[in-house]
Structure 1
Amino acid sequence: MGNESMNLGGTDLAFTRWDPWDDCNRCQKPGERIRICYCYVEEPLEKPMPCWLYLKEEKVTNSRLRPELQLQACQVPCDTATETNQPYFVFDTYLLDKPNSNARLKCPLASIYRPVHWEADNSPLTWQDQLSGQTVSTIMDLHSGGQHLKVFQPATYRCFVEQELIAQFNPTERQSKAQNPWQPRIQPDKADSVLRRLKLMVLSISVLAVGGLLCKVVFRPVCGKKRSQVLLVK
């Protein structure tokens, strides 16, 4: 498959260009290497630009204007001289418990020029399985060379770059829904007990108030006498 070109009408020219083959994305075990073909548009006196940037919001109808991928099986020995033994990143991802929900994972340090290898619960995710339709729970992004991974099921995902584990994405449970702020904090039986006490308190205050009023109006002399007697005792 070589590079191709086509006239878009006028003086604009569209052409495809294949990148060199990437390194094998695994060592000591069967792996894959890929190369991607990108589409460019060249205008007079202008530098070539990617087709997606040239077309912007317009829908791409010609398959040759989209990025293409070529795949090759590989198996190479591990090169310990390139290992850095750096600590890997750990991220938490929420469970995908809603219909048609998905999450987009990004592998740090990976790019189209640095091959990435993904695993889900220790099972390898391959381009071959994705292109053949055997993988339905994950999608590796072609434009980024697999740096981005769209997942539809909870699992422990790991990504490797240049033979080393770079990041691990752990599934976590979603936080429980926040309680209604207007929900009473007191249990129903305790609430009834408190309400009865409040009613008794209000009733006692009412009785005392009525008694005080009667004392002032009806029994005023007697109350005054008792008050005088109390004062004399002191």
Structure 2
Amino acid sequence: MEMVILTVLLQLPVLCGTTSAGYLEGDTFECRSDAPCRVPIASDNTFTLKCGNQSENASVYWQYVDTSNTHTRPVTFLQSSGSLRSEEDDLDYHLQMKIKSLASRSSLNSGHLKILSPKVEDTGLYICKAGWGIPARYEVDVQDVTTLHITHAGLRQNPLSSSAMDVGNENTVEIYTVWSQWQACDRCGAQGERKKVGFCYAEISRDALLVSRPQPCGLLRTTFRDVQINHPVELRIEMCQEDCKQDPSTRKQESLIELVENIHTYQLMDAVLTCPRSSIYRPVYWEHDSSPITRLQILTSTSSYTLDNSTGGGTLYIHQLDGTTAGTYHCYMERNLVKSFQVMFPEVKKEEEEKGFTIMELILVVLGVCLFSYMIFSLCQVLRTIRPRVIP
């Protein structure tokens, strides 16, 4: 029974049409069914919801339903044309602030909704309307990535195990992780790392019979409000090696974004390097000059580096810079060079020249003071030798 349930769960994201749409769109989901697709999302990672196949001239607008409140109606927060009618007058203050925050981080691309830096509070029902139809609906569960649980197979660390609890009325809730597919190896022709993301799913059963279909944990809490679930998003990492033989004509030229940034700093200072449009859903890795920086290397040695968890390593922290950690850093996204950073200190020669010039100035000032003092002393001596004339 457990294996059957797990197989169904692993197919859920596929039914929603999870696809990759390049750096600018983040992770993209497409709902191909009439019923709402249930989509787990990692907070702080941009994602896009497709609006299906609407006509070119159709006016598209998106509505949000706060499923944490049973009395909430759909509220329009974004539309493709025309002025957005204010619907905030009859909303409570908390929902007003939530809608404003959501709208400020949302944009439309050909009618598809892109949300930047999603928050746990963005969990809810998203409805796309085009003309008189509803091409797509999504039940989105934004799960907190700040509590991300990371395990590395190279260290023989195990993912979280499933758990079960009694929630009363002879109901039992089972909580476990549903994993995405392994991402591609982050580099070619050498040993690298690959990762996959796991989301919290739960189901409620009574006497071994399902009461609720398996669903992301945040969505289950909106139905069973008394259920307390503490099961974080997971990131699983393992070593890999791929030849990556690919026809150059099939390479995604639009994703090649090479920038160079010069970072002037000082020794023993920290530096923060961020790979543009990095995402927990995409392979990313760093190089210092020609040496790779891996998560395993950081975990197994006293390293000057730290990788962030929220984007799965899209931000590199360099602690207490010295001569060995200065130099050129390269960031690769989906095996393409995206950005380079030149971390450098002020030139030593220039400092020495400035230091010598300052000493010379000091010597001249001291000599000048000494000369002036000698002149004053000499004048005083002369005045003492002159006796006043006495007039009879």
For residue 65 of structure 1, report the CA deviation from its aligned partner: 3.4
In the alignment, is residue 124 of structure 1 matched against residue 292 of structure 2? yes
**Aligned-partner Cα distance in 1 for 2:344–2:224:** 47
| Alignment counterpart, residue 71 of structure 1, candidates 213, 238, 241 | 238
Q: Name the CA shift for 1:5/1:194 in 2 (closer, same or farther; >3 Å).
A: farther
8 Å CA contact retained: 1:159, 1:166: yes
Q: Name the CA shift for 1:91/1:15 in 2 (closer, same or farther; >3 Å).
A: farther
Unaligned runs of 5+ in 2: 1-158, 201-215, 356-360, 384-390
8 Å CA contact retained: 1:83, 1:164: no
In the alignment, is residue 88 of structure 1 matched against residue 259 of structure 2? yes
Q: Name the CA shift for 1:192/1:78 in 2 (closer, same or farther; >3 Å).
A: farther
* Percent identity of equivalent pairs: 25
Unaligned runs of 5+ in 1: 49-53, 56-61, 180-184, 208-217, 219-234
Asked which structure has the greater RCO (Cα within 8 Å, sep 6+), the reply is 1
1:105-139 Cα distance to aligned partner (Å, 9 max, x none): 211232212311211231112233334x1462322
Question: Following superposition of structure 1 onto structure 2, how do residues 167-206 of structure 1 map, counting pairs within 5 Å?
Answer: 167-173=339-345, 187=363, 188-196=366-374, 199=376
Q: Name the CA shift for 1:86/1:142 in 2 (closer, same or farther; >3 Å).
A: closer
| Alignment counterpart, residue 16 of structure 1, candidates 177, 194, 218 | 177
**Aligned-partner Cα distance in 2 for 1:158–1:26:** 12
Q: Name the CA shift for 1:36/1:79 in 2 (closer, same or farther; >3 Å).
A: farther
- For these two proteins, the number of residue pairs brought into alignment is 192
For residue 33 of structure 1, report the CA deviation from its aligned partner: 1.8
8 Å CA contact retained: 1:90, 1:168: yes
Match of 2:153 in 1: none
Q: Name the CA shift for 1:145/1:47 in 2 (closer, same or farther; >3 Å).
A: farther
The structure whose residues are more often strand, as a share, is 2
Greater radius of gyration (CA)? 1
Match of 2:333 in 1: 161
For residue 193 of structure 1, report the CA deviation from its aligned partner: 2.2
For residue 37 of structure 1, report the CA deviation from its aligned partner: 2.4
Q: Name the CA shift for 1:4/1:122 in 2 (closer, same or farther; >3 Å).
A: same
1:65 alignment partner, SS class? coil
TM-score (norm 2): 0.38
**Aligned-partner Cα distance in 2 for 1:161–1:5:** 35
Match of 2:198 in 1: 37
